Amino acid sequence: MLWLYILIGVIVILIIGGVVAMLCITLPIAKRVYREQLVKETPEKWLRECSAPEHEEQAYMWKTGCEWADGKKDYMREVMIEREGLKLYGEFYQFGGNECVIIVPGRCECLKYSYYFAEPYEKLGMNVFVFDQRAHGKSDGEYNTIGGKEHGDLIAWIQYLEKEFSIDSVWLHTICVGTSSAMLAMVSEACPESVKGLITEGCFISFRETFKQHMIDINKPCFPVLDEVMWYIKRYTGTNVYKTAPGRLVTQIKQPVLFLYGEKDIFSRPEKSKIIFEKCASLQKELVWFEKGSHSHLRQNNLEQYDTAIAEFVNRNRK
């Protein structure tokens, strides 16, 4: 029997050695991916610049959005709040009334990115608020926390708008990762009653799921690097991406929700999108599909349909 124990011991040692060797190789890769994608490593990163100027559609969104903002300078007021020792910056476009849309951009994007989505809300008679999330644009910070910290910033901004501009009706328009911030805010006990509804483009079932597709897209190994990146997020920001997944949060959302999805979206895939919609607890939920357009690029490919869907949804659910 001694030979059997020796054999088992050798196998255990080989397995442990293999795991250790694998971690020694993959953990540095995961940390590099994490820092590249989710950490503002230098002051020059994630500034108020187009995140992908080489991408034709992204460049078009940026140009068109900035043209909208340039034409509304007389209505704009620069604002700033402080939270958790960070200075956070935004712009409030005051068109009158007590309704406001807050546009929450996705990962790596500053407030100028949000300009592109403002026009349909201006036409609805709403004020428009755009802001640099922590670690983006002019705002302080180092980490993108996938909504873990950003949702508290969002609540603070809503409270600021209520106090400074007498806003009593807030709509949230989110793109991709911005949806995590919005949903976390909406299910929070601290969520202001002024939040009336959510319009979300490209909502994903979990950040792990969408980041997996992103890693495939940039030709990075998924196993075990993907879950190591999720571990780094938890280690450095405290965010548990499994507990803060929109696929879980949506079961607690009671306000009206409009889901905007693209049939060709590889990051928020149609089969997952249908699951999110079905799980949503809101009694006033709607889903609109767009045949054209990739992830976060739906509006410029379906302008009339996109803006009409927003206008009809908001008007049906205004109180």
pLDDT confidence band for 62 (50 / 70 / 90)? very high
- In the chain, the N- to C-terminal Cα span, in Å, equals 78
What are the Cα distances from residue 39, in Å, to 232, 267, 280?
Answer: 11, 20, 31
Question: What strands lie across the sheet with 257-262, from one edge to the other?
Answer: 76-83, 86-93, 127-131, 99-104, 169-175, 195-201, 257-262, 285-290
Is 129 contained in some domain? yes
Residue, of 295 and 307, whose pLDDT is higher: 307
Distance CA 129, CA 131 (A): 7
Residue-level pLDDT at 6: 56
In this structure, the answer to whether residues 99 and 185 fall within a common structural domain is: yes
Other beta carbons less than 10 A from residue 61's beta carbon: 22
Is 47 contained in some domain? no
Distance CA 70, CA 18 (A): 58
CATH number at residue 200: 3.40.50.1820
Q: Mean pLDDT of all residues in the chain? A: 92
Per DSSP, what are the bridge partners of residue 131? 90
Query: Where are the strands (E) in the chain, listed by range?
Result: 76-83, 86-93, 99-104, 127-131, 169-175, 195-201, 257-262, 285-290
Per DSSP, what are the bridge partners of residue 253? none
pLDDT confidence band for 1 (50 / 70 / 90)? low
In this structure, the answer to whether residues 274 and 157 fall within a common structural domain is: yes
User: Which domain covers residue 146, as residue numbers?
Assistant: 55-204+242-317
Q: Where are the alpha helices (DSSP H) in 116-149?
A: 119-123
Is 46 contained in some domain? no
User: 150 pLDDT exceeds 80?
Assistant: yes
Residue-level pLDDT at 23: 61
Among 6-15, 56-65, 112-121, 294-303, which is the least confidently predicted range? 6-15
Is 141 contained in some domain? yes
Residues 96-124 pLDDT 10s: 999 999 999 999 999 999 999 999 999 99
What are the Cα distances from residue 189, in Å, to 1, 7, 172?
Answer: 62, 57, 17
Other beta carbons less than 10 A from residue 248's beta carbon: 15
**CA 310 to chain centroid:** 19
Residues 257-289 pLDDT 10s: 999 999 998 888 888 889 999 999 999 999 999
In this structure, the answer to whether residues 226 and 119 fall within a common structural domain is: no
In this structure, the answer to whether residues 215 and 136 fall within a common structural domain is: no
User: 10 pLDDT exceeds 90?
Assistant: no
Cis amide linkage into residue 224, ω under 30° from 0:
yes
What are the Cα distances from residue 263, in Å, to 4, 63, 251?
Answer: 56, 25, 23
Q: What is the DSSP string of 33-48?
A: HHHHHHB--STTTT-S
User: 310 pLDDT exceeds 70?
Assistant: yes
Type of residue numbered 93: Y
pTM: 0.93
Number of domains in the chain: 2
